[in-house]
Amino acid sequence: MSIERIYVIGAGLMGHGIAQVSAAAGKQVTLADRTMEMAEKGKARIGANLARQVEKGKLEASDADELLARITPAQGADGAAGHGIVIEAVFEDEAVKRETWEALTRSADPDAIFASNTSSISITGLATSTDRPAKFIGLHFFSPVPVMGLIEIIRGLETDDATYDACRNLAEELGKTVIESKDMPGFLVNRMLGPFINEAVFALMESTGTAEDIDTGAKLGLNHPMGPLELSDFIGNDVMLNVMDVLYRGFGDPKFRAAPLLRQMVTAGHLGRKAGRGFYTYDESGKKVG
Ligand SMILES: NC(=O)c1ccc[n+]([C@@H]2O[C@H](COP(=O)([O-])OP(=O)(O)OC[C@H]3O[C@@H](n4cnc5c(N)ncnc54)[C@H](O)[C@@H]3O)[C@@H](O)[C@H]2O)c1
């Protein structure tokens, strides 16, 4: 049976995108954040995305209005009753997520599915902060959500088949391709991406090549749209360091140790595009200038 009402909690970069693609698929969406103002800001971001599409002639203004009308901003975790699924996209902080899930457990219907968009925290572990580990799952969207075609679905140790099937069906309704991962550190995509970027940082650190040559090598030699160092700057060098630390701790395997240069850059505040400085330098609009 298809899920018609979706509660998205966390209206930031990921949450507003998840709400947008859900409403675009005809779902009724409640978009919640810590305050009503933040939830409304998330909805306004969707409005701005849609306005750009209307300007480019990719979307009718009336369709944009209808899509927006399907999204209701809300405050906090108390309003989840009456929704078939809750998708959580709050900060990547285990304590914050656990507290949020405890509150959602109190307000959501007993048969609602609980999905976390976490990039790195164990789904099996988060499920223990709820009353329904069998109905708890990972739905890992990629940024920007309306553009990226993938959803990685992560089954916790206790996730049941009905929950997986309902989420797979929902992901397909949202127009996404699904890959399925067991609940292992980094799941599938970050487990591949982390070591790839990390190895590029080691090569730079050891002066095997320049940043430009490492990135050009990946772009023209491997047909990647972005080189690993520019991609790390784009994602955030702090986020990539966290991915490596999660892999290293989770597997206890030295092959996942973070490159010392990556850690040093994070310590120095060279976090990438958002900080104006990383492996490259950026102007205020985020354009690469050096
Ligand atoms: N940024 C990415 O590329 C990306 C990709 C995949 C998954 N994720 C995951 O998605 C989640 C959200 O990341 P983001 O990049 O959207 O972060 P973000 O900081 O842009 O947004 C997080 C939002 O959650 C809200 N929030 C925090 N605590 C809350 C609470 N207790 N109740 C309600 N709202 C709360 C914040 O106010 C904020 O608006 C994280 O788990 C992250 O790991 C991020």
| Pairing of the two strands 177-182 and 150-155 | parallel
Domains of the chain, by residue range, sit at 5-182, 189-275
Mean pLDDT for 201-211 is 98
Given 83, 88, 122, 152, the catalytic residue: 152
State the pLDDT at residue 127.
98
Ligand 1 lined by 123 (C-beta under 6 Å): no
d(Cα 239, Cα 258) in Å, to the nearest integer? Answer: 12
State the pLDDT at residue 1.
72
Say what the pTM is: 0.94
Q: Distance of CA 68 to CAs 1, 27, 261, Å?
A: 24, 11, 44
State the pLDDT at residue 73.
98
Q: Distance of CA 255 to CAs 2, 252, 260, 268, 286, Å?
A: 43, 9, 13, 24, 33
Mean pLDDT for 229-233 is 98
Q: Where are the alpha helices (DSSP H) in the chain?
A: 13-24, 36-55, 61-69, 94-107, 123-127, 161-173, 189-205, 211-216, 222, 228-235, 237-251, 260-267
* CA angle, 257 then 261 then 266, to 5°: 95
Instruction: Tell which residue, 68, 8, 1, has the closest CA to residue 33.
Output: 8
Q: Residue count of the chain, please give it.
A: 290
Percent of the chain beyond pLDDT 90? 98
Active site residue 152: yes
State the pLDDT at residue 8.
98
Active site residue 119: yes
Tell me the best of 7, 9, 14 to mutate to test the pocket of ligand 1, counting ligand atoms within 8 Å of each CB and taking the most. Answer: 14
d(Cα 138, Cα 154) in Å, to the nearest integer? Answer: 5
Mean pLDDT of the chain: 97
Q: What is 189-275's CATH number, 1.25.40.20, 1.10.1040.10, 3.40.50.720, 3.30.2080.10? A: 1.10.1040.10
**Tens digits of per-residue pLDDT, 167-200?**
999 999 999 999 999 999 999 999 999 999 999 9
Strand order in the sheet with 177-182: 71-75, 28-33, 5-9, 85-88, 113-116, 136-141, 150-155, 177-182
CA of 91 to the centre of ligand 1 (A): 4
Ligand 1 lined by 145 (C-beta under 6 Å): no
Ligand 1 lined by 30 (C-beta under 6 Å): no
Given 117, 119, 122, 181, the catalytic residue: 119
State the pLDDT at residue 190.
97
Given 181, 190, 198, 237, the catalytic residue: 190
**Is domain 5-182 given the CATH code 3.40.50.720 in the classification?**
yes
Active site residue 140: yes
Question: Where does the pLDDT of residue 47 fall: very low under 50, low under 70, confident under 90, or very high at 90 and above?
Answer: very high
DSSP 221: I
**Tens digits of per-residue pLDDT, 57-97?**
999 999 999 999 999 999 999 999 999 999 999 999 999 99
CA of 222 to the centre of ligand 1 (A): 32
Residue nearest to atom 21 of ligand 1 (CA): 12
Q: Which pair of structure tokens corresponds to residue 288?
A: 């690469």
